[in-house]
Structure 1
């Protein structure tokens, strides 16, 4: 009796079409190089054995030779901040959740801070940075980010167009934002190390909190403790906290008015009065069926209002996920 073979699921190093990622983007073997060279140069006289012998001799001659490319250690001015996201598990309100940790690092003093967020969108990014700015009592003049996730969109030319929320945030805090080159994580190695360091030292075992706000406060308190007990790499005998106290002088003052990271969108409710926002549906009420609804989208709430009168229709906790219906029975 013929038994059908089970379908193998693609692993983390295999694309959806079944090809390994390294096969399409990595280095070529000595057996693959002759075919590739002949295809690119149209040199049909190239033989496989000749190329393989050359590759073998080159590898033997260069085995153990250090990389000929030199490196320069990056020097960061006081107050410069690097920003990146990491994911860790934590228990929020009694349930395990994937927490998106916004990690910032100030390479001059090696100060590392972290806050907890439910996502990596522009609203979460702005809210997390605001928590960090308030905690350190100032605003860094320059922040360096890895990519445009949450901050904007990168086009084919590598240019980044900031989102409306993040663009307003940058203008409000008078920031200079720099983005690393693609596939150049070494340009912000300080925060790359900080993500792993804080995950190992803060999130093991998984932390517990009643809300993301409480978890962020716990994280910032522990980060201050780590800064007091660890030494700055530039000054091995001086704690990070002392060097950071000197670095505070390079920070800009906080604005006198608070920033509200909110995204406004106008949507049309369906025949049930549900409004689709980020693949989740929020009930505005039967009276709003097939009519325009104004939505104020923040990192933790979604507020629905009438665009004509400004009347508040409903307010819900923002959902992170897909295909969820959020309804108020009173409506």
Structure 2
């Protein structure tokens, strides 16, 4: 349709017919006819905004009014509601609108006109937000730039509280939480609390490129922190980090962060908080006010918009909350132990020197090697001096060593002889605890595998004759100094054996004279 309003505007600025025709890509005769009809109707510029080109056409050409096509007006309320549903767009709704017009023998708008009419309607009804953000589609998260000062009531030491902000861009509904730091555990806990606050999970999760969430984000690849990826998998949502240096990707959360900083941090700047818990309570109170604050350019508030437009489109929460877990890597030491940062825990000894993954939750410490779990321990909430070691993780020699006790050593010494028993008793009583004598007892037992009981007993008697507290070193040296013939019964048997002998007759040849 010819732009009649523009013809009048250009004529009022003093342009001639040729210039107007060139500007509107129309013929001079058409422009001349339109201007002539304007003069007859007495129309002058400026025109009221409500007078559209369609209405001007009806005024200028009343004789053609009956011939004007009557297009079927779309149900914009219905279109607006359907656009909120997952996967629905204007192209699909236009095709359905066309199909209905065919059934009722009515004339539909073409796609371009259909979209223009809808956007015009949406703009008048202050509902353009839905065009850009679908309900329940995304949650944007970030840390606020400002902090809240907390003063310890006993020491007077001041610490900083950090504000986590999550927002649903469609309704603008906001969740904020004050944390003692910006580490991974708080970052994940805030996400879990945000989902509980919203009572549902959006399809997408859009964070900034901070280290606690995103390991690497380049043009070619995106590497997500393992703990963060585990959380997204549990809640069945997808992490789509904002592009580096592209704040428009998360403009909603940027605006919410700014608004939260003003509404919460700035509003609480003059208050003194003596504990983190007191500060958290104040932040929650301000959050309620923030979400109930009326909109300036449309009816309702963030909370009412969330309840009416977005809540129903969120995915349901899992039956149980996400178990927070942090991941780290460690090289297994020669003592076959790794640390969770607080205590030390054992792993199978055959992994000494290998690098393993450590998954730490509030209740458990899991050690994985090449994706397979090789050990797990109940995590201690307090720090202990000694490592937590499982028997099955130890080499067989170490397991045998732990299996010994005082009674076993004395029983073995008695089986060898009274002198050996006295030596064993000496070893066990030499220290503050019997366990300090286990090692020399094990060494003496090892010597009994090489030397006979009689020789062990003989050497123990000799040691006791000049020292009431013999050492395993002196016993070992005395055993080594024994003559070779006396080392063991087996060697004595070998030395005294006649072997296989043959007489001279066995080598005498037949017919030998001397035979």
Which TM-score band (shorter chain)? 0.5 to 0.7
Ranked by relative contact order (alpha carbons within 8 Å, sequence separation 6 or more), the top structure is: 1
- Per the alignment, residue 104 of structure 1 pairs with 166
Deviation at 1:200, TM superposition (A): 2.5
Aligned with 1:76 (options 116, 133, 145): 133
Aligned partners of 1:142, 1:191: CA distance in 2, in Å?
Answer: 14
1:144 is aligned to 2:206: yes
Aligned partners of 2:335, 2:363: CA distance in 1, in Å?
Answer: 18
Deviation at 1:330, TM superposition (A): 9.6
Measured against aligned partners, the alpha-carbon deviations of 1:203-233 in whole angstroms (never above 9, x if no partner) come to 2325636446x754543342122211x2235
Aligned partners of 2:237, 2:357: CA distance in 1, in Å?
Answer: 30
Deviation at 1:255, TM superposition (A): 0.5
Whether contact under 8 Å (2:364, 2:376) holds in the other structure is no
Q: Pairwise mapping of residues 215-254 of structure 1 onto structure 2 (< 5 A)?
A: 215-216=279-280, 218-228=282-292, 230-232=293-295, 235=298, 237-246=299-308, 247-254=310-317
Aligned partners of 1:107, 1:220: CA distance in 2, in Å?
Answer: 20
Whether contact under 8 Å (2:165, 2:175) holds in the other structure is yes
- Per the alignment, residue 381 of structure 2 pairs with 315
Aligned partners of 1:207, 1:270: CA distance in 2, in Å?
Answer: 48
Change (3 A) 1:197 1:283: same
Change (3 A) 1:273 1:171: closer
Aligned partners of 1:271, 1:215: CA distance in 2, in Å?
Answer: 46
1:90 is aligned to 2:149: yes
Structure showing the higher strand proportion among its residues: 1
Q: Pairwise mapping of residues 249-264 of structure 1 onto structure 2 (< 5 A)?
A: 249-264=312-327
Deviation at 1:173, TM superposition (A): 0.8
- Per the alignment, residue 172 of structure 1 pairs with 234
Whether contact under 8 Å (1:147, 1:179) holds in the other structure is yes
Deviation at 1:154, TM superposition (A): 1.8
Change (3 A) 1:191 1:185: same
Whether contact under 8 Å (2:173, 2:302) holds in the other structure is yes
| Secondary structure, counterpart of 2:178 in structure 1 | strand
Aligned with 2:258 (options 196, 202, 213): 196
| Secondary structure, counterpart of 2:132 in structure 1 | coil
Change (3 A) 1:200 1:272: farther
Change (3 A) 1:105 1:234: farther
Aligned partners of 1:233, 1:147: CA distance in 2, in Å?
Answer: 32
How many residue pairs end up in the alignment? 242
Q: Which has the larger radius of gyration?
A: 2
| Secondary structure, counterpart of 2:188 in structure 1 | helix
Aligned with 2:195 (options 129, 133, 152): 133
- Per the alignment, residue 30 of structure 1 pairs with none
Structure showing the higher helix proportion among its residues: 2
Q: Which runs of 5+ in 1 are unaligned?
A: 1-71, 286-290, 317-326
Whether contact under 8 Å (2:171, 2:302) holds in the other structure is yes
Deviation at 1:242, TM superposition (A): 1.1
Deviation at 1:260, TM superposition (A): 0.8
Aligned partners of 1:153, 1:250: CA distance in 2, in Å?
Answer: 31
Measured against aligned partners, the alpha-carbon deviations of 1:297-318 in whole angstroms (never above 9, x if no partner) come to 45xx6976899875547435xx
Aligned partners of 2:272, 2:240: CA distance in 1, in Å?
Answer: 32
Deviation at 1:254, TM superposition (A): 0.7
Aligned partners of 2:366, 2:237: CA distance in 1, in Å?
Answer: 32
Aligned partners of 1:154, 1:266: CA distance in 2, in Å?
Answer: 18
Q: Pairwise mapping of residues 115-134 of structure 1 onto structure 2 (< 5 A)?
A: 115-134=177-196
Whether contact under 8 Å (2:140, 2:207) holds in the other structure is yes
Whether contact under 8 Å (1:110, 1:232) holds in the other structure is no
Change (3 A) 1:81 1:310: closer
Change (3 A) 1:82 1:313: closer
TM superposition score normalised by structure 2 = 0.39
Aligned partners of 1:268, 1:101: CA distance in 2, in Å?
Answer: 35
RMSD over aligned CA atoms reads: 4.1
